Amino acid sequence: MAGARSTRASAAVDRLKRRTGVTSYSMARTGDGLFFLSEKPGAPPLCAPLELDEFVAFVNGLGPQEVKRVSKHDVEFEKQLVRKKP
């Protein structure tokens, strides 16, 4: 299961690299399985070692956020859902 954990954490770092254009971000794991992020390998960590969920939330919160594209059909569908609620 450790592989899936690392994959989820590294995917968050990859998304951060795409959002910021900074390709030098580096993720590392401690001996007890916690994750931390650095601006580049060997640089001081940007956060204390974190559990997987906390690490992913921290990384997702960094840099510019991706704007979710919403079509006019999505907007109309949301309006219909709101009207149907009791």
pLDDT at position 86 = 59
Give the model's pLDDT for residue 10: 93
Query: What span, in angstroms and rounded, lies between the C-alpha atoms of 68 and 66?
Result: 6
At 28, which helix (H) or strand (E)?
Answer: strand 26-29
Q: In the prediction, which pLDDT does 78 show?
A: 77
What are the backbone angles phi and psi of residue 60, rounded to the nearest 5°?
Answer: -65, -25
Number of H helices, E strands in the chain: 3, 2
pLDDT, position 57: 94
**Do 19 and 67 contact (CB within 8 A), yes or no?**
no
Give the integer Cα–Cα distance in Å for 55 and 58.
5
Q: Where are the domains of the chain?
A: 2-84
Per-residue pLDDT tens listing for the chain (86 residues): 556 667 899 999 999 999 899 999 999 999 999 999 999 988 999 999 999 999 999 999 987 776 677 778 777 877 777 776 55
